[in-house]
Amino acid sequence: MTKVPDELPALRLKNVSASYGPDQKAAVQGIHLTIPRHGHTAIVGPSGAGKTALFSLILRFLEPTRGELLLDGRPYRAHTTPTSAPVSPTSNRTPPSSPTPSAETSCSPTPRPPRTS
């Protein structure tokens, strides 16, 4: 794996706009944002400011209508999405567990003894 330079921002948004549909107004408009690799970044704003839309963009639940997002300096489109990532045929993963939960994994409450009153 290639080492990412420490000074390279983890995430950048360049003039990003997005909306929830073709006939919807912009949920966010013209965002320029740089998230450094270190420290903490707070996203603050009143209701409707676009915080959820911003995170939806970052998580790729929402596609920008303009602008671009860069992760480790590379546009999102250049990154492989986890769902399309190839699974190594030699990987030593255990098969999925049975759909019937075992006693240990069951979420059912422990049965109580009957009331005596």
Interface contacts to Mg ion, rule CB under 5 A? 51-52
Q: How far is the CB of 9 from Mg ion (least distance, A)?
A: 24
Nearer to Mg ion, 61 or 78 (CB): 61
Residues 12-31 that bind ligand ADP (CB under 6 A): 20, 24, 27
Tell me, residue by residue from 53 to 92, as one string, x for binding to ligand ADP by CB under 6 A and - for no binding. Answer: x---------------------------------------
Instruction: Give every CB contact of residue 70 below 8 A, 6+ residues apart in sequence.
Output: 9, 11, 12, 13, 14, 76
Nearer to Mg ion, 14 or 51 (CB): 51
DSSP bridge pairs for 11: 35, 71
Q: What is the DSSP string of 5-61?
A: PTTS-SEEEEEEEEESSTTSPEEEEEEEEEE-SSS-------TTSSHHHHHHHHTTS
Nearer to Mg ion, 45 or 99 (CB): 45
Instruction: Give every CB contact of residue 89 below 8 A, 6+ residues apart in sequence.
Output: none
- The DSSP letter of residue 62 is S
Nearer to ligand ADP, 24 or 106 (CB): 24
Tell me which residues touch ligand ADP (CB under 6 A).
20, 24, 27, 45, 47-53
